[in-house]
Amino acid sequence: MPRSNLNAGTGSVDGTPNTGIFDSLTGLDGCTVGTVVTSGVPASTADGNSGTLNLSAAGQTTSIDIVVQIATLQVSPNSVFVPAAGVTKSITVTALTANGTPVPGTLITGTCTASGGDSAAIALTPGSATTNGSGSAVFSAAASGFVAQGTDPTAGSGQCVFSTEGSASATVTFSGTITCGDFSPPTCGGN
């Protein structure tokens, strides 16, 4: 008799949710086959599982771990151009399994670095977030100091790296944008 024990989400064996029996009887070898389907089950931690499937027959019981691994993180946008005045952008990060199914309940952490320009910096809020029912989490990145004005303006650069507890990660790049006058030849800074 199969019985699912999930941390979240739903599961079934041969179309029967929670506890039930296999559709097929055991063969002469004592084995049977069943189809397990889960939905909305959160990602497993690095050393844990997202639930178990418990099987019982003839006084014997065994458990099978249900493991949901994040295959990739998608970010939107994947690059940000930062003018002299700075910019604040909303960044959406989506956790996906190998077959492209969004994974809710995944903890995503973001870390940002920047250099150059006029003391380029990126402030990310929140620093970590859990994906919603659609497998996405939204962050806000405020970039400033990416353009040093003057006779020879210089642009800064930076990045925010988003990662899960496993090995999935995605990067958003930030680039300072130097704008010069509208005349030909263009004039920048003190020219």
- Same domain? For 21 and 57 the reply is yes
Does residue 53 belong to any structural domain of this protein? yes
Domain boundary among 66, 97, 118: 66
To the nearest 10°, the Cα dihedral for 10, 15, 20, 24? Answer: -140
The set of residues, in sequence order, having a beta carbon less than 8 Å from that of 83 and lying 6+ positions away, is 146, 147, 177, 179
- We report the CATH number of the domain holding residue 145 as 2.60.40.10
What percentage of the chain carries pLDDT values higher than 70? 82
pLDDT at 187: 57
State the burial class of residue 28 (Cβ atoms within 10 Å of its Cβ: 0-12, 13-18, 19+): exposed
Tell me if the pTM is above 0.75.
no
- Same domain? For 100 and 171 the reply is yes
What CA–CA distance (Å, rounded) separates 154 from 178?
Answer: 7
What CA–CA distance (Å, rounded) separates 91 from 70?
Answer: 19
Range of the domain at 44: 2-66
CA 47 to chain centre: 18
| Segment holding 12, helix H or strand E | strand 10-13
Quick check: 88 and 142 in contact, CB under 8 A? Answer: yes
pLDDT at 183: 47
Domain boundary among 66, 81, 104: 66
- Same domain? For 163 and 146 the reply is yes
pLDDT at 116: 94
- Same domain? For 151 and 119 the reply is yes
pLDDT at 167: 74
- Same domain? For 88 and 123 the reply is yes
Question: What SS3 class is residue 122?
Answer: strand
Quick check: 109 and 163 in contact, CB under 8 A? Answer: yes
pLDDT at 111: 97
> Which residue is associated with the tokens 């492209």?
100
What CA–CA distance (Å, rounded) separates 36 from 39?
Answer: 10
Does residue 187 belong to any structural domain of this protein? no
CA 152 to chain centre: 39
- Same domain? For 58 and 102 the reply is no
Low-confidence ranges of the chain (pLDDT < 50): 182-183, 191
Does residue 102 belong to any structural domain of this protein? yes
Domain boundary among 66, 84, 119: 66
- Same domain? For 17 and 92 the reply is no
Does residue 182 belong to any structural domain of this protein? no
